[in-house]
Amino acid sequence: MRKFGIIGLGNVGRTVAYTLVTKEIADSLVLIDKDQKKARAEQLDLQDAQARLNTTTQVTIQDYADLKDVEILYITAGDIAISTNGGDRFDEFKFTAAVVKEIAPKIVASGFKGIIIDIMNPCDAVTSYLQKLTGFSKQRVFGTGTFLDTARMQRVVGEKLNVNPRSVEGYVLGEHGNTQFVAWSSVRVQGQAIEKLPQAENFDFDELADAAKQGAWEVASGKGFTSDAIATCGVSLGQAVLSDARLVCPVSGYSERFDTYVGIPAIVGKNGIEQIVELPLSTDEQDKFASSAQMIHDSVAKLV
């Protein structure tokens, strides 16, 4: 049985739930939120939809004990207004750290043995804190990290070159936040290194990277939150775990070198993070990665 859990039913959490049910991915789904009425409303809404679907998902609510046999648990709590007002996802850290402090003991007490995918902000720092408080292995706890930022880069580059974003490969690394960077040395367009394309002579790579970074704020300022793209990223990672896809993608994974979670390429399979992938970055990219990772490490150290 494909059993999922979601803690936090804001715009991201409910979009994850809707996707899992309507795309016929989940056989069973556990929904938990601090607001009982909201959890019940989301349960009913999903149950009402199923008379028009080809599959049935068993939806239960508000029971941490029901997490015991969940395979994939998403943590999606947050308050995006905090970060959008300040323009920095780290502004949410105090809020989400308090959430982690409350829910981590409950998750552990449930006997949960699956994989946790964190979608809270600031993703890297709060994933580090979540892993520390649960005591689960670093394989089993990871975050969406720069998986979405990389998709935004693919869109921006695709628009610039008039190609499908799926024809763009490469990575945005570092913090899922203001210190992230595009590893341009890794970017390929239709199999060719972007830096060697004839058109690249006229590119402002810093401008392209900034456009990708600002994508989140443009969405959030326009509709008040982000939901669809990040939920899609979360579901894709969950499917990679369930199918043991050994998908290579950037996530918020643990870096032994910097002793913190940070946006880094990894192989995602049935055990969660199967392996961290080391990229041959340029000297400038190595410096940016080190600076970003150190900032995350220091921020978590102040909390714990």
pTM: 0.95
Query: Binding site annotation covers 11?
Result: yes
Query: Binding site annotation covers 9?
Result: yes
Q: Give Dmax over CA atoms of the chain in angstroms.
A: 58
Instruction: Provide the pLDDT for residue 284.
Output: 97
Show which of 143, 165, 195 is a domain's final residue: 143
Q: Letter for the amino acid at 212?
A: A
Q: Averaged over 155-163, what is the pLDDT?
A: 96
Q: Does one domain contain both 26 and 114?
A: yes
Q: Residue 265 pairs with which residues in a beta bridge? A: 250
Q: Does one domain contain both 65 and 210?
A: no
Q: Averaged over 221-249, what is the pLDDT?
A: 95
Q: How many domains does the chain have?
A: 2
Q: Letter for the amino acid at 35?
A: D
Query: What residue numbers bound the domain in which 34 lies?
Result: 3-143
144-154 b/e (C-beta count within 10 Å ≥ 16 → b): bbbbbbbbbbb
Query: How many percent of the chain have pLDDT more than 90?
Result: 85
Give residue-wise pLDDT tens across range 95-150.
Answer: 999 999 999 999 999 999 999 999 999 999 999 999 999 999 999 999 999 999 99
Domain harbouring 74, CATH code: 3.40.50.720
State the catalytic residues. 176
Instruction: Provide the pLDDT for residue 90.
Output: 73
- pLDDT surpassing 90 at residue 84: no
Query: Binding site annotation covers 91?
Result: no
Q: Does one domain contain both 132 and 164?
A: no
Q: Does one domain contain both 156 and 262?
A: yes
How many CB atoms neighbour CB 54 within 10 A?
6
**Least trusted range by pLDDT, from 24-33, 35-44, 150-159, 215-224:** 215-224
Instruction: Provide the pLDDT for residue 1.
Output: 86
Give residue-wise pLDDT tens across range 257-294.
Answer: 999 999 999 999 999 999 999 999 999 999 999 999 99
Q: Does one domain contain both 42 and 70?
A: yes
Instruction: Provide the pLDDT for residue 85.
Output: 65
